[in-house]
Amino acid sequence: MKAQNFRIRLHIVSPVHIGCDDVYEPTSFIIDEKKKKLIEFDPLDFVESLLPHERSEFSKIASGDDLLNIFKVINRFYKPSIKSREVDVSDYLVNHYKKILELKTYDKKTVINQFIINKTAYNPYTTQPYIPGSSLKGAIRTAYLNIKAGELGIRDCWVNYLEKTSSKNAEEIYKSIIKKHIAKEFERKLLNGEFNTDPFRMVKISDLLPVERVKTKIVYAINRKKQKSNRATLAERGGVYQIFEVIQPGAVFEGVININAPITSSGIKFPITADKLMASLNKFYVPLLENEIKTLKGIDISVPLINEINSKFKGKINKTAFIVSIGRHSGAEAVTIEGNRLIKIMQGRDREGRMRYEYKPYSTTIWLASDSPKPQSNNGLLPFGWAVLEILS
């Protein structure tokens, strides 16, 4: 087997958020009502732009812990001349921010908890988003494992373990499975390799950088039951907003995939080839997307993703262009192995206040990107994470 190297492009077709453990700090942005933009700036640049009397007032307010007044003084003293970065926001977030500024009393929960905005992965030098190679590699690996499990006819890999355990408590069983690394053992079985002999060691994917300047947007992640119901999901009843910066559809990123040939003494029994990888993407993600679209139609959400993909990549799908799912809220099915899933589902709290769970082979809810936390209609709701991987050369 010879080494295989490919230049690739990733086309974003639905909102994508890849976490980076960073947020938009409340003291480093304002929201412009007219532009409908979140404007982020360096707090040091903000302080340096202040006139002497402004700096004196700001220092006095900033020395306290009243975030509401800090919000207000930053909004009042911000100057457009400060070097900044702009991100699209919805009308709801604009109004939400406006209402925060109009508050007379400081409510920590309202001001802080409802304004935690998670950034998507970005280059700190250019401030532009990028797609970590590890994220794409994880998506490809999941597809490959799914196909291997199907080829080997392995289903319900947990059954033997569950039959042997004496515990009757579902939570104890789940924790025990995690502790004993049953999932990792299953992967080793599918790939015929330990860490050193894992064939995916030979697959290297670079970070994918934007081809052109990428637009992002601040959205709310909302949860919907997969079957019609008048009852809100547990996440909806919780009342805490999930706000994310997402890469908007239409963004394009470019990188490289290298599939190296293992040396004879590596112990890798079944080397990975590009043909096998791409075939696994086709077999795994296409049905997954079709099922998701069908599920959304069942709850009156119309998303023409498949038609849009087929139109844009006419004649290329499953030849040089392959559907993938990446990032936060891409769905439990997209990160687990078909026929061998054990998905943890929250059921609310019992009388003692303890969280109750069920464990099923499928998820019961779906996360969607929305312009508001409680949309009055389904118009504009989009699933997270869908993209098309194109092989260029």
Mean pLDDT of the 368-377 span: 89
Instruction: Report the domain count for the chain.
Output: 2
Residue 125 lies in a domain: no
Do 26 and 10 lie in a common domain? Answer: no
pLDDT tens digits for range 288-300: 999 999 999 998 8
Do 53 and 157 lie in a common domain? Answer: no
Note the pLDDT of residue 228.
74
Residue 304 lies in a domain: yes
Note the pLDDT of residue 90.
92
pLDDT band at 172 (very low <50, low <70, confident <90, very high): low
Note the pLDDT of residue 350.
72
Query: Structural domain of residue 41, as residue ranges?
Result: 20-120
Do 277 and 318 lie in a common domain? Answer: yes
Residue (of 205, 329, 335) closest to 277 by Cα position: 205
Between residues 272 and 104, which one has the greater pLDDT?
A: 272
Note the pLDDT of residue 335.
87
Do 173 and 115 lie in a common domain? Answer: no
Let me know if 23 is exposed, middle or buried by CB neighbors in 10 A (0-12, 13-18, 19+): middle
pLDDT band at 364 (very low <50, low <70, confident <90, very high): confident
What percentage of the chain exceeds 70 in pLDDT?
87
CA distance 171 to 73: 48
In the DSSP assignment, the letter for residue 317 is B
Answer with the one of 120, 149, 184 that is the final residue of a domain: 120
Half-sphere exposure of 12 (CA within 13 A, CB side): 32
Residue type, 130: Y
pLDDT band at 272 (very low <50, low <70, confident <90, very high): confident
Lowest mean pLDDT among 38-52, 74-88, 91-105, 239-253: 91-105
Query: Would you say residue 111 has pLDDT above 70?
Result: no
pLDDT band at 256 (very low <50, low <70, confident <90, very high): very high
Answer with the one of 120, 140, 174 that is the final residue of a domain: 120
Do 66 and 140 lie in a common domain? Answer: no
Between residues 178 and 46, which one has the greater pLDDT?
A: 46
Do 143 and 110 lie in a common domain? Answer: no
Between residues 278 and 176, which one has the greater pLDDT?
A: 278
Residue 308 lies in a domain: yes
CA distance 217 to 290: 26
Name the pTM for this structure.
0.88
pLDDT band at 68 (very low <50, low <70, confident <90, very high): confident
Residue 127 lies in a domain: no
Residue 126 lies in a domain: no
Do 98 and 246 lie in a common domain? Answer: no
To the nearest whole number, what is the mean pLDDT of the chain? 85
Between residues 243 and 240, which one has the greater pLDDT?
A: 243
Instruction: Please enumerate, as own/partner, the contacts of 297-306 that have beta carbons within 8 Å and a separation of 24 or more.
Output: 298/226, 298/227, 298/228, 299/224, 299/225, 299/226, 299/227, 299/228, 299/378, 300/228, 300/378, 301/224, 301/368, 301/378, 301/381, 302/378, 303/14, 303/381, 303/382, 303/383, 305/13, 305/14, 305/383, 305/386
Answer with the one of 120, 148, 178 that is the final residue of a domain: 120
Residue 252 lies in a domain: yes
Residue 44 lies in a domain: yes
Residue 358 lies in a domain: yes
Query: Would you say residue 333 has pLDDT above 90?
Result: no
CB atoms within 10 A of CB 393: 7
Do 102 and 38 lie in a common domain? Answer: yes
Mean pLDDT of the 224-252 span: 78
Do 140 and 188 lie in a common domain? Answer: yes
Mean pLDDT of the 8-27 span: 93
Do 44 and 9 lie in a common domain? Answer: no
What percentage of the chain exceeds 90 in pLDDT?
45
pLDDT band at 249 (very low <50, low <70, confident <90, very high): very high
Token digits for 254? 């470019």
Among 20-24, 298-302, 312-316, 385-389, the range with the most confident prediction by mean pLDDT is 385-389
CA distance 118 to 121: 10
Token digits for 29? 């942005």
Do 233 and 142 lie in a common domain? Answer: yes
CA distance 11 to 252: 5
Do 173 and 321 lie in a common domain? Answer: yes
Note the pLDDT of residue 195.
66
